[in-house]
Structure 1
Amino acid sequence: MATIESYTTAAGKRYQVRYRTPQHTQTKKRGFRTKRDAEDFAATVEVRKLAGEYVKPSLGRVTVADIAPIWLSRKESDVARSNYRMLESAWRVHVQPRWGTVRLSDIDLADVELWIADMRRKSGATTVIRAYGVLAGILDDAVKARRLRANPARGVENLPRKTSKRRVYLTADDVGRLAAESKHRALILTLAYCGLRWGEAVALRVQDVEFLRRRIMIRDNAVQLASDFSEGLTKSRKDRSVPVPQFVLDELSVQCKGRALDALVFGDGAAYLPRPKSDGGWFVAAVKRAKVQIVTPHDLRHTCASLAISAGVNVLALARMLGHADPSVTLRVYADLFDTDLDAVAEALDAKCAQSVPNRCPADVEQAPKKPLTSVNG
């Protein structure tokens, strides 16, 4: 059990609590102004020891910067290289300047919320959410390492919400004109009718195109970092088989002709095709010539979802095609597209089931005998 002792300082009488840790080592905490405060602390320590929640105070005296490298190192191996760069940048630019020298035990929820409020005045929602996620993730590691009893950053109430980006969906005619005006015709059709991400498309190799099965095997993803490329796993970290319309296969057969099996389909030899520039690049020029809505290459993935849904593809098949981990992701991302099908549901049910409902003659309804009313008393 804990013992309470008094001692004298220049500022007056103070109290200290001596107690044993769960490892049976003796320690103490000094500086309590009243005996009641010391007794409350001693009782709290005993309760936490019994509940298995005790954390040695000295373990919380390290700074956030002391344990951040461990978290960052794990993330570097767990996430895509492009994602890691954003996390490392968030740590270096937003988290480290404010929290790097702060001890874990000194972090307070109110201070975290003030930090978020200050960032919201200077940065967008995505930047704020990412920086908060880095801090919260580092402190989660501290809890797992039993340096903190609970994460003081969890439970904030002023985190901004990300606004959904406006999606553009092209029609099949739009896609045809865009492909006709582009110097990368086969790539445009593959993006728009197979739903590949840009990195998946430029990492595609001749041996991944299965002409007899009318499938494309998505195994790799090429991430562009400045002028360099890094090839790794797909976003879902799983291979997937994507169906390919015959007219797209015809274009791919021309694209693959004369290339080695391990050659890139859309690259130049062993060199990846760079992402088109947002201003003055070949894709923007093709969009202008085709006179379609202003779109990005990624909008062609959304277009694929739109065309597939309008063609009656079920959600499970579409989710597998797009590489979503769960069909609920597909429903959430493309909820606006499924809303437009509600009227079609009623029309389909009317056409299919109306003949099965028996007709009732209005005269029969009027002549039907009515049940006599009964009084309360019978």
Structure 2
Amino acid sequence: MSSIRQRPDGKWRARYRDDEGKEHSRHFERKRDGQAWLDEVASSRLTGTYVAPAASKATLATFYAQWAPMQVWAAGTRRNADYAVDSCTFRDVPFGKLRRSHAEAWVKAMQSNLAASTIQTRVRYVGGVLKAAVLDRALATDPTKGLRLPAVRRIEHTMRIPTPAEVQAVREAAEPFLRPLLDVMAFAGLRIGEGAAVQTADVRWLQQELHVARQIQNRPGGVREVCPPKHGSERVVPVPAELTLRLSAHLTEVGEHVGGWFLPGSPPSPDALRRWFEKACRAAGVECITPHDYRHFYASGLIRAGLDAVSVSRAMGHASPSITLNIYAHLFPDAADRTRAAAADLLASTTASADQVRTSGA
């Protein structure tokens, strides 16, 4: 319900009631300006973009402070979201004054000192908050939607896959206590935090399986947090018999650490293990590889062996096969490769048949 009437002082008072029955009004010098405002309100209510004046005074910071505690997030996700919102240059701008240009200026400012992938991650977190504000009718539109972001280099141009010789050289140069970590990363595809968290009870010796049940993350202040793996990453990985033999030999030689850990630290520190990994690489003369590159080594081996994207995704602990394809699509044989191989088989079969005809004729 809306109306517009002229006051004794000559101004025009336009008013309407929202869905909750609360009245809102504004005064205008001209009637047509008041009517235009009422028309704009009516249009926004019909299209679902209406925001009550009181709600439009909220900011990204104030909305996030109320909304974030209600989210079902892992601790790491909450920390990343906190950091993204805290770094946002328009976090204190009222929603009613928030414009696309605010988001564009924020992205431009980040380009001076952040990688493109980091910028994309921060915009994704902030965009998620703004989308929630739109659904809560606190914000009319999300100014980050469709925002042009810096391009990230295609992963096939940045991926470093260690060679089998490099993996073996690093293992031989590593301290004995580090070798179980190297083995579960290279031959079971574990992330370094997952590898650090392996306990003896996780190895199913007879079934030749490894249960990836937890990860360890380093927190500020030297605190180590034992927590579940990334969302969707808890898994049971089939492993080769040789890997279980290596792990068994390690327990015989070094023994189990306090708490059932394979690696020292109780719990082990991924940051410390990463430094030991770098030391082993230097000793082996292997350059420019990281613990995460061992996951690429493992995935590339599975793909070369002919495993499909679903099987690789399960082994890697990806939330869906689409993630696997986004990362490793360039390693899977394409249609041209399969066509070429099939035609080669046909050619070989006809050659063999011709040889049989000549032999029988003789």
SS in 2 for 1:16: strand
In the other structure, the counterpart of 1:180 is 172
Alignment partner, residue 195 of structure 1: 189
Partner of 2:54: 58
Deviation at 1:59, TM superposition (A): 1.6
Q: Distance in 2 between matches of 1:152 and 1:6?
A: 37
Tell me the distance in 1 between the aligned counterparts of 2:121 and 2:30: 43
CA distance in 2 between counterparts of 1:120 and 1:35 reads 47
Q: More displaced, 127-136 or 213-222? A: 127-136
Task: Give the letter aligned to residue 152 of structure 2.
Answer: K
Cα drift, residue 241 of structure 1: 1.0
- 1:150 paired residue among 136, 141, 147: 141
User: Structure 1, residues 118-160: CA drift from partner, whole Å, max 9, x if none?
Assistant: 332343323433443343233223222222233233232x322
Q: Which residue of 2 aligns with 1:23?
A: 20
**Cα distance change of structure 1 residues 347 and 46 upon mapping to structure 2, 3 Å threshold:** closer
Identity %: 27
Q: Does 1:108 align with 2:103?
A: no
- In the alignment, the residues of structure 1 paired with residue 78 and residue 20 of structure 2 have an alpha-carbon distance, to the nearest angstrom, of 38
Report the AA paired with residue 28 of structure 1: S
Deviations 1:70-116 (A, max 9, x none): 234345x50342x4333322322x22xx3343211111112322332
Cα distance, 1:200 vs. partner? 0.8
Correspondence 1:84-95 to 2 at 5 A: 84-92=78-86, 94-95=87-88
Cα pair 1:179 1:186 within 8 Å, conserved? no
**1:53 Cα deviation (Å)?**
4.8
Normalising by structure 1, we get a TM-score of: 0.81
Residue segments in structure 1 that go unaligned for 5+ positions in a row = 360-378
How far apart are the structure 2 equivalents of 1:135 and 1:273?
A: 31
Given that residues 108 and 153 in structure 1 are in contact (C-alpha distance below 8 angstroms), is that contact kept between their aligned partners in structure 2?
no
TM-score normalised by structure 2 residue count: 0.84
* Residue 161, structure 1, aligned to residue 154, structure 2: no
Structure 2: distance between partners of 1:23 and 1:171? 66
Q: Distance in 2 between matches of 1:344 and 1:3?
A: 71
Preserved CA contact (<8 Å) 1:206 1:260: no
In the other structure, the counterpart of 2:200 is 206
Distance 2:244 2:171 in 1: 14
Work out whether residues 60 and 147 of structure 1, in 8 Å CA contact, stay in contact via their aligned partners in 2: yes
Q: Secondary structure at the match of 1:78?
A: coil
Deviation at 1:357, TM superposition (A): 6.8
Q: Given the alignment of the two structures, is residue 35 of structure 1 paired with residue 28 of structure 2, yes or no?
A: no
Question: 1:129 and 1:107 mapped to 2: Cα distance?
Answer: 20
Contact 1:205–1:261, Cα closer than 8 Å, also in 2:
no
Determine the structure 2 residue equivalent to 1:5: 5
User: 1:121 — aligned with what?
Assistant: 112
Structure 1 residue 57 displacement after superposition: 1.5
Q: Among 352, 356, 362, which residue is 2:345 paired with?
A: 352
Q: Provide Cα deviations, 1:198-231, integer angstroms capped at 9, x if missing partner.
A: 1111111111101111110111111112422111
Q: Which residue of 2 aligns with 1:250?
A: 245
Please say which structure displays the higher CA radius of gyration.
Answer: 1
Structure 2 unmatched runs, 5+: 353-362
- Superposition RMSD in Å: 3.0
Structure 1 residues 64 and 16: CA distance shift in structure 2, 3 A? farther
The worse-fitting range, judged by mean Cα deviation, of 62-71 and 173-182 is 62-71
1:251 positional shift? 0.8
Alpha-carbon distance in structure 2 between the residues aligned to 1:285 and 1:260: 22
CA contact (8 A) 1:207 1:261 kept: no
Q: Distance in 1 between matches of 2:215 and 2:60?
A: 34
**CA deviation profile, 1:329-367 (whole Å, cap 9, x unmatched):** 21220123225x7675345313433466799xxxxxxxx
Please state how far the C-alpha of 1:43 moved relative to its aligned partner. 2.3
What residue is the counterpart of 2:256 in the other structure?
259
Find the aligned partners of 2:7 and 2:145 in 1 and give their Cα distance.
38
**Partner AA of 2:5 in structure 1:** E
- Aligned ranges 1:217-366 → 2 under 5 Å: 217-226=211-220, 227-257=222-252, 258-259=255-256, 263-268=260-265, 270-276=266-272, 281-338=275-332, 345-354=338-347
| Mapped contact 1:171–1:307 kept (Cα < 8 A) | no
